[in-house]
Amino acid sequence: MAQLKRLVILAHRYLGIAISLLVVMWFATGVTMMYAGGMPRLSAEMRLERMPDVDLSRVRLTPAEAAERAGLDPLDESPGRVRLSTLMERPAYRVGTTTVFADTGDVLEDVSPAQGRAIVAKFMRVSDSQVQHVRTLDRIDQWTLTQSRSMPLHKFQVDDTDGTEAYVQASSGEITMLTTRKGRALAWVSTIPHWMYFVALRENQPLWYRIMVWTSAAVCLLAVLGLVLSVTQFKRVRPFKLANAIPYSGWMRWHYVTGAVFGVFTLTWAFSGLLSMEPFEWTNARGLEVSRDVFTGGPANLSKFAAMEPATWRRVLDGRGIKEVDFVRILDDHYYVVRQTPAAHVADPRPERLHQPYYITGRAEPERVLVNAATLETRQEGFRPEAFIARLKQELPDESMVAADLLFEYDSYYYSRGRQKPLPVLRVQFADAAQTWFYVDTEMGQVLASIPRLARVERWLYNGLHSLDFAFWYDTRPLWDIGMLVLLAGGMLSSSFGLVMGLKRLRRNAARAAKSIVETPVGQEQPVARS
């Protein structure tokens, strides 16, 4: 038993020396991540606000004609998403991956750096002379880690007080990323070190994944060994006195006390961080799947959309401007999805969670208007839930539907602290082997999330343990902030004490080894230094 205890002590000691600096960094950046809000990004809200209104008087092509110019047969081929907006001060259709100018029918070739410069200047509301082309990227850099498919990108620097940098996709002329000096600085002290989002490492995805998994697993083992020692090293003294029951002094005493108190949270944070990498088969479990057209009835038939007459649309929208238009099909009918000029400045919402075990699409859009393509009547309310329920039953005839509820507030799995996700939402529960729950946007006819039972379990094991986002606490501020800061500070103190002791031990061992080398006569065997 004594040999086993010594083995546990040595394992905890030297594993701690190896990774304690990493643990301290994770705790410290956990604090900054609470408020930094993740990597810099261009939010949909800012993009919409800065986008110029579409000049309908210059639109000469219908969506079907634009699809033909893009080389598609609008009756036989699905063009994917079709959108009308403004590009380089001209109305333009984006048909799949092709841009067709709506005034002349010309197809956009790759945007040059000079054209990209003008696009950025217009977006940032500065003169062209304040925008400088930095370079054209063929590979990702630190701020475009998720945009490898958007290459090449033109990078520009803006001479403004925020130190703005913008990236323009050459093939579309769209600004895909916007960073500021403050946003970049916050990322360097939060998200980048916490998730090891270093571009040189992220370019090698398998290596980055293995490093994240193995370091998280190592911290789990370190915490378990520490918790075991907090019990086995605790003295049973009579009469009992806590000061006498702790067998250490100095730095070691403080490390023992803080580790015993906060070690469980270190373990749960390390384990939930490990789960975020989804290293186990069950974390990739999938539930029922439905086709993309389950609520549409098929791809949009672009011939259903007539030319947009300016006078008619001024009447339909009460004179408000149009930022962009999508052409969609919902429950077999065709609609214009019109996004308008915001009535007031909209603050960019901050990302709420950097990882979620399941994907949730969609966002709340108060400035969105749905207009029937046949009647040009605006739809004032969502579609009937019964229509979506019937489509799901038709799509999954062999599966038993156990519940269907229209939610006007978030539940434990579909939720948003900043109310960034659409409401109301239809939740449909099935009794399949994976116990799948669907969440459906009743205003746009879209499946927002498909969540099997194991993903709901992972939600609690990751978001619950890592962010402590239990509704009774997560939605209560500043109590949630206080609790998180106390626990993070405790974990950081414990790991910092361990780091200090580890450095001191390494220095002693190095000094002992150096002394041994100096004092040993030439030719005499050197004794092995024992730690």
Q: Are 265 and 52 in contact (CB under 8 A)?
A: no
pLDDT category at 448 given cuts 50, 70, 90 is: very high
**DSSP string computed for 161-195:** TT--EEEEETTT--EEEEE-HHHHHHHHTTHHHHH
Q: Average pLDDT, whole number, for the chain?
A: 91
Q: How far apart are CA 405 and CA 264, in angstroms?
A: 38
Which helix H or strand E contains 311, and what residues bound it?
Answer: helix 310-316
pLDDT digits (tens, 9 = 90+) for 110-120: 999 999 999 99
pLDDT category at 242 given cuts 50, 70, 90 is: confident
| Residue 429: strand pairing partners | 403, 437
* Residue 524 scores a pLDDT above 70: no
pTM value > 0.85: yes
Mean pLDDT of 313-330: 94
How far is CA 8 from its chain centroid? 38
Task: Quickly tell me which residue has 């579409």 as its tokens.
Answer: 54
Q: Are 498 and 492 in contact (CB under 8 A)?
A: no
What is the structure's pLDDT at 75?
66
pLDDT digits (tens, 9 = 90+) for 69-83: 998 876 666 678 899
User: Shortest CA distance to 92 belongs to which of 46, 151, 52?
Assistant: 52
Q: What angle do CA 491, 493, 495 make, to 5 degrees?
A: 70
What is the structure's pLDDT at 341?
78
Most confident of 228-237, 345-354, 426-435, 464-473: 426-435
What is the structure's pLDDT at 280?
87
Residues above pLDDT 90, as percent of the chain: 72
pLDDT digits (tens, 9 = 90+) for 390-435: 999 999 999 999 999 999 999 999 988 788 899 999 999 999 999 9
Q: Mean pLDDT lowest for which of 72-76, 95-99, 160-164, 323-327? A: 72-76
Q: Pairing state of beta strands 131-137 and 153-158?
A: antiparallel
Q: How far apart are CA 41 and CA 144, in angstroms?
A: 9
pLDDT digits (tens, 9 = 90+) for 177-206: 999 999 999 999 999 999 999 999 999 999
Q: Which stretches of 394-474 are assigned E, i.e. beta strand?
A: 401-407, 425-430, 437-441, 446-451
* Residue 354 scores a pLDDT above 70: no
Mean pLDDT of 143-147: 94
Per-domain boundaries in the chain: 44-180, 302-468
b vs e for 449-477, b when ≥16 Cβ sit within 10 Å of the residue's Cβ? bbbbebbbebbebbbbbbbbbeeeebeee
Q: Pairing state of beta strands 90-95 and 153-158?
A: unpaired
Residue type, 300: A
User: Shortest CA distance to 439 belongs to which of 392, 399, 497?
Assistant: 392
* Residue 2 scores a pLDDT above 90: no
User: Shortest CA distance to 52 belongs to which of 111, 133, 124?
Assistant: 124
Which helix H or strand E contains 340, and what residues bound it?
Answer: strand 333-340
